[in-house]
């Protein structure tokens, strides 16, 4: 089993929790409360220890995520170079606010803090993976089509 191999890399079972949760999320898209309890049992932890990890870190999803996710940076360098305008443009185009998902579940917008790519500011991360920047309204429009 894949999870056993993850646990085996560490000195304690608990240390593998981020990797085990990531494995689940890659497979199921998001992590339900039932899955959290299963992880707790598997790692021999109280369920609260899984819950607190789920809520402390920003990269885990408790709800089904949109198909296309825009995570737009708003920290200083991006803010200096128009990050806020990019968020506004996305919001207008999609008719939702940052933190929301379109009704058809296709798109979501989040504002995030520095992703370590200030040389391409203003920037965003697409679908928790690719970094895109410097952003322009035209680039954003092309991604929405």
Partner 1 sequence: MEKLISKYFIPGKTSFLADYLADGGYKAARTVFEKYQPKDVVDLVKQSNLRGLGGAGFPCGMKWSFVPQNTGRPVYLVVNADEGEPGTFKDKYIMYHTPHLLIEGIIITAYANNVHKAYIYIRGEYVEPYEKLKKAVEEAYAKGFLGKNIFGKGYDLELVIHRGAGAYICGEETGLLESLEGKKGFPRLKPPFPAVVGLFGCPTVINNVETLSYVPFIVNRGAEWFAKLGSDKNGGLRLFSVSGHVKKPGVYELPLGVSLREIIYEHAGGIREDRKLKAVVPGGLSAAIFTADEIDVGMDFDQLRNKGTMAGSGGVIVMDETTCMVKALLATMRFFAHESCGQCSPCREGTGWVHRILERIAKGGGRGKDIETLLDICSFMGGTTICALADGAAMPLRSYPTKFREEFEYHVREGKCDLDLVRHSEREARRIFI
- CB 103 to partner 1: min, Å: 26
* Residue spans of alpha helices (H) in 9-136: 17-28, 33-42, 47-56, 76-80, 83-94
Nearer to partner 1, 82 or 143 (CB): 82
Nearest to 122 by CA among 112, 108, 132: 132
The residue ranges that bind partner 1 (CB under 8 A) are 9-12, 14-19, 21-22, 43, 49, 52-53, 56-60, 74-77, 79-82, 84-85, 113-121, 125, 128-131, 136
Distance of closest approach, residue 104 Cβ to partner 1, in angstroms: 26
Least distance from partner 1 to the Cβ atom of residue 45, Å: 8
Q: How far is the CB of 102 from partner 1 (least distance, A)?
A: 23
Q: Is 71 exposed, middle or buried (0-12, 13-18, 19+ CB in 10 A)?
A: buried
Distances from the Cα of 110 to the Cαs of 27, 46, 52, 89, in angstroms? 22, 31, 21, 13
Closer residue to partner 1 in complex, CB, 103/142? 142
């Amino acid at each position: 089993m894949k999870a056993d191999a993850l646990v085996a890399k560490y000195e304690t079972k608990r240390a593998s929790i981020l990797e085990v949760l990531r494995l689940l999320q890659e497979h199921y898209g998001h992590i339900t409360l039932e899955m959290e309890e299963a992880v707790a049992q598997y790692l021999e932890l109280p369920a609260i220890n899984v819950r607190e990890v789920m809520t402390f870190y920003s990269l885990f999803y408790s709800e089904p995520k949109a198909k296309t996710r825009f995570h737009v940076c708003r920290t200083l360098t991006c803010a200096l170079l128009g990050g806020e305008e990019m968020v506004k443009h996305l919001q207008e185009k999609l008719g939702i606010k940052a933190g929301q998902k379109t009704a058809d579940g296709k798109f979501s917008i989040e504002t995030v803090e520095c992703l370590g790519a200030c040389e391409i500011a203003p920037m965003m991360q697409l679908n928790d993976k690719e970094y895109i920047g410097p952003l322009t309204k035209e680039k954003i429009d092309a991604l929405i089509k």
